[in-house]
Amino acid sequence: MKLLTAKLLAAATYGTGVVAFLAVLSLGLGIWWLGLGDIFLMDDQGILILPWDIALWRFAIAYLLAFYAMLTVTTLTFLFSVMVTNAIGPIVGTMAVLIVMGVLTVINLDAMAWIQGKLFMAHLGIWQFAFYDPIPWDQVWESFKVLGIYIIVFTVPAYYIFKKKDILS
């Protein structure tokens, strides 16, 4: 189990590192190119103007929520990685699940409405709530719970499959 835990921590660290790199790159380039200033956001309610000091906190919240959403995708890949012996299988499997869930999430059919809110793809945009005013903490918490359930659902079977797997053959 130590080996599998190390593998999961390495994958989570790598995913977090990618998101952190993108955060530093986007904020760094944005500040360098445009400077510090207010942020203008448009949504269905109109235009929201956040002062730069509040905007930086909102970006911090958004990136923390993005780390958590990325952990869900990481654990899905982790589950696939214990089922196959090659390196490309988990990548292809995860991309296939993301594409199918993406399609199912945006299809506007009454027959699909019951499942759309339960798919983790519908909650990967949890980071966007950081830019609402006020932040809808009830929706953030709901998405946080759904993603957490998927993290558990992907991780527990991975440990069980790995435990049953003969890694010496």
CB 72 within 8 Å of CB 150:
yes
On whether residue 26 sits in a domain, the answer given is: yes
On whether residue 169 sits in a domain, the answer given is: no
Distance (Å, rounded) from C-alpha 62 to C-alpha 54?
A: 12
Q: Report the domain count for the chain.
A: 1
On whether residue 57 sits in a domain, the answer given is: yes
On whether residue 94 sits in a domain, the answer given is: yes
On whether residue 105 sits in a domain, the answer given is: yes
pLDDT score recorded for residue 112: 74
**Cis before 51 (ω within 30):** no
**At 20, which amino acid appears?**
A
pTM (two decimals): 0.86
pLDDT score recorded for residue 109: 78
pLDDT score recorded for residue 57: 92
Residue pLDDT tens, the chain, 169 long: 788 889 899 999 998 999 899 999 998 998 899 888 888 888 777 888 888 888 889 999 999 999 999 999 999 999 999 998 888 989 999 999 999 988 888 888 787 777 888 889 989 999 999 998 889 999 999 999 999 999 999 999 999 998 887 665 5
On whether residue 10 sits in a domain, the answer given is: yes
Instruction: Compute and round to an integer the Cα radius of gyration of the chain.
Output: 19
On whether residue 112 sits in a domain, the answer given is: yes
**What is the extent of the structural domain holding 82?**
2-164
